[in-house]
Structure 1
């Protein structure tokens, strides 16, 4: 499938999706969000894909926010619809994918860009990256999960400070806060993303999907994460991957998961 705003490349068991709007610092407009949904859905349903890497084109930005020109004239109802649709098509979708998504943050990750990174399962950053949620400087709040996921990742106090000041933090600060896992020079960012993806793709895809559902359950209102873990643990026993993994262990060989 061809896209106007994305570059998609499959390398082995990993799909790399690059948001390609460099003249707009890869800002998320409606078309890009819809294209991301299609590309991510394709990767998530492709049995040959085990991991996804999300990044931005160029050296300046991962995603420098949403395209403000598209919604500057919206009213209350349209604003609610914009947020709800974004959650459905992209941010909640990414979080609940059964294939792990690695956000390789290669520059500015602001507003919707940071929200996209936070909805991903793993975040790594280049040492020139800057992250923030500047929405209150525009008279609005983060509307794509930022107020929720940021607090989950860095704690309530730091989230309040980042949102209320509309400030940016460096990649190293983001690492110290637990917002990203690793910081490397920009030239090494995609290599690290592929290294992590390679470790993921060597393991059981069905088990990883169960693990994602179990971990996410801890953050779902009214859901007992331990109960979900018990259910998902039990389901694993009925999979070919469980049989292969345990047989390989007993036979002292490396498991070959399909």
Structure 2
């Protein structure tokens, strides 16, 4: 499925690939792209189990299209300041939905990151469950340098991955993290040579698909909710999930 907004969705059996396709501007993001991403979430075939997010060209995404900073049009910084706070928050919520669907319980999402993943680009990678980085990747949460905050769903995942202190340092300084450091501090599941990025991402997707879909869904639910549960609550969640798996495997599911 092609979108004139600069994003493309391709589906091949249980794998869907979302591609940012504005390589001439390093896949700089616009609200139109976020709207398209949100629509893609509604258009996924029911048999899709893995979603790969990638960017064409030299970079995954260099972040926000800076025309929004200096312009006067729809969704520009100037307009966002002029509308009411409630309208602004509602509009941002719509933008966030282009990212948050990648956390859906029925899919595993994988970001394949090369070159720059800055600001909104970094947050798009963080929205995914897993991240494969090329060895030339550079990550940065650059919003504070523009006088802004990360607002596309990236702050909670960043704290979950690297802890509060390091997350604060990365956001407040907007410094760039290379692939080696990203792997060391938990931002990357895998770092590979640039030429191997697509192959490594496809291999990871295939490995996820090896397990039965319902088992992966249950595992994702257990792990994603673990931080908010006590040990006793997590033990109970494991028991209940395993009981459902026994019944499903025996053909006795609901």
**1:131-146 matched pairs, under 5 angstroms:** 131-146=139-154
Report the more deviating stretch, 13-22 or 172-181.
13-22
Shift of 1:78: 4.3
Report the more deviating stretch, 3-12 or 175-184.
3-12
Conserved? CA contact 1:126–1:183, under 8 Å:
yes
Count of aligned pairs: 238
Secondary structure, counterpart of 1:67 in structure 2: coil
* Cα separation, 2, equivalents of 1:34 and 1:227: 39
Structure 1 residues 91, 97: CA separation in 2 closer, same or farther (over 3 Å shift)?
farther
Structure 1 residues 219, 86: CA separation in 2 closer, same or farther (over 3 Å shift)?
farther
Conserved? CA contact 1:153–1:178, under 8 Å:
yes
Q: Does 1:24 align with 2:20?
A: no
The alignment's TM-score, normalised by the length of structure 1, stands at 0.83
Shift of 1:195: 0.4
Report the more deviating stretch, 145-154 or 126-135.
145-154
Q: Deviations 1:132-162 (Å, cap 9, x if unpaired)?
A: 1111111111111222211110111111110
* Cα separation, 2, equivalents of 1:65 and 1:225: 37
Q: Does 1:101 align with 2:106?
A: no
Aligned equivalent of 1:252: none
Aligned equivalent of 1:189: 197
Aligned equivalent of 2:71: none
Conserved? CA contact 2:100–2:127, under 8 Å:
yes
* Cα separation, 2, equivalents of 1:82 and 1:174: 31
- Note the residue ranges of structure 1 that are not aligned, 5 or more in a row: 245-258
Shift of 1:14: 1.7
- 1:72 corresponds, among 59, 77, 88, to 77
Q: Does 1:84 align with 2:98?
A: no
Structure 1 residues 112, 207: CA separation in 2 closer, same or farther (over 3 Å shift)?
same
The alignment's TM-score, normalised by the length of structure 2, stands at 0.84
Shift of 1:23: 2.5
Conserved? CA contact 2:63–2:120, under 8 Å:
yes
**1:32-71 matched pairs, under 5 angstroms:** 32-43=33-44, 45-47=45-47, 49-59=48-58, 61-68=59-66, 69=68, 70-71=75-76
Aligned equivalent of 2:119: 111
Conserved? CA contact 2:62–2:117, under 8 Å:
yes
CA-atom RMSD in angstroms: 2.3
Aligned equivalent of 1:3: 3
Structure 1 residues 118, 208: CA separation in 2 closer, same or farther (over 3 Å shift)?
same
Conserved? CA contact 2:35–2:94, under 8 Å:
no
* Cα separation, 2, equivalents of 1:127 and 1:195: 17
* Cα separation, 2, equivalents of 1:42 and 1:236: 28
Conserved? CA contact 1:96–1:212, under 8 Å:
no
Secondary structure, counterpart of 1:128 in structure 2: coil
* Cα separation, 1, equivalents of 2:122 and 2:166: 15
**1:98-247 matched pairs, under 5 angstroms:** 98-220=106-228, 224-239=233-248, 242-243=249-250
